[in-house]
Amino acid sequence: MRVLVIDVGGTRVKMIATGADEPRRFKSGRYLVPQVLVGEVKRHTADWRYDVITIGYPGAVTGEHPSAEPGNLGRGWVGFDFAAAFATPVRIINDAALQALGSYRNGRMLFLGLGTGLGSAVVSERVIFGFELGSLPYSRRETLAGRLGRAGRLRYGPELWQKAIARVVPTLRYAFAADYVVLGGGNAKLVDPLPEGAVRGGNDNAFAGGFRLWQDIVEPHDRPAPSVWRVIS
């Protein structure tokens, strides 16, 4: 099965397909609405062949459909029929969950995306659980997203931001009984040292997740495994 993966971000859209040597990109922003996305993707991938599509969406997703409009793009995402527009089967997943899936190795993994806010997901037993941990309080006046996101780093400076990461990551790992934590997103590269039990992911892991979402699972276990990954958000 040939898969096209589309990772929709606030500043650019990245794409790659099965067999392609390099990803392709175009700018996004407030102008980007679903119809424009479809047209630009078709234009930039006219020479690629694919059977199915994965879209990493920068917002809430319920039942593989956007359930809230993104904060940094145009409007019209909720209710848009992507499968009809592309004339191809489409699976849509939150962008943090997509990176989480691409970062997953084994066991129970907690993913924290350090970017504008705080993306989060847990992957375990072939199931991807999407969470909004960024809405949890860090203090009386701040959420985790406000403290660990880009604005928090700019407000408090690198040293205090690092201390907040060192405090929060082990706590969340314990709360979710995670075997390990993957730190992804654009600011993950700025975390030094890494908290105990944490490893650094990469933004391109979203591509791996996009391919993996369509893969059948074959495992040498006694109990049968689901045929595809299940997303719960």
User: Which 8-state DSSP code applies to residue 173?
Assistant: H
pLDDT at 216: 55
21-78 pLDDT, tens digit each? 999 999 999 999 999 999 999 999 999 999 999 999 998 998 889 999 998 899 999 9
For 88-101, what is the mean pLDDT?
94
- Do the bridges between strand 12-17 and strand 24-27 make them parallel or antiparallel, or are there none, so unpaired? antiparallel
Cβ atoms of 204 and 185 closer than 8 Å:
no
Cβ atoms of 8 and 28 closer than 8 Å:
yes
pLDDT at 116: 83
| CATH match for 98-207 among 3.40.50.300, 3.30.420.40, 3.40.50.970, 3.30.450.20 | 3.30.420.40
The angle subtended at Cα 41 by Cα 37 and Cα 44, nearest 5°, is 140
| pLDDT band, residue 222 (cuts 50/70/90) | very low
| CATH match for 3-95 among 3.30.1020.10, 3.30.230.10, 2.60.40.1930, 3.30.420.40 | 3.30.420.40
For 91-104, what is the mean pLDDT?
94
pLDDT at 226: 45
Cβ atoms of 166 and 195 closer than 8 Å:
yes
d(CA 189, CA 53): 29
d(CA 111, CA 183): 6
CA–chain centroid gap for 159, Å, is 26
Mean per-residue pLDDT of the chain: 91
Longest dimension (CA), the chain: 53
| pLDDT band, residue 204 (cuts 50/70/90) | confident
d(CA 5, CA 213): 10
Which of 15, 94, 98, 91 lies closest to 52, judged by CA? 91
Q: Where are the domains of the chain?
A: 3-95, 98-207
Which of 205, 197, 193, 195 lies closest to 179, judged by CA? 197
118-174 pLDDT, tens digit each? 999 999 988 999 888 999 999 999 999 999 999 999 999 999 999 999 999 999 999
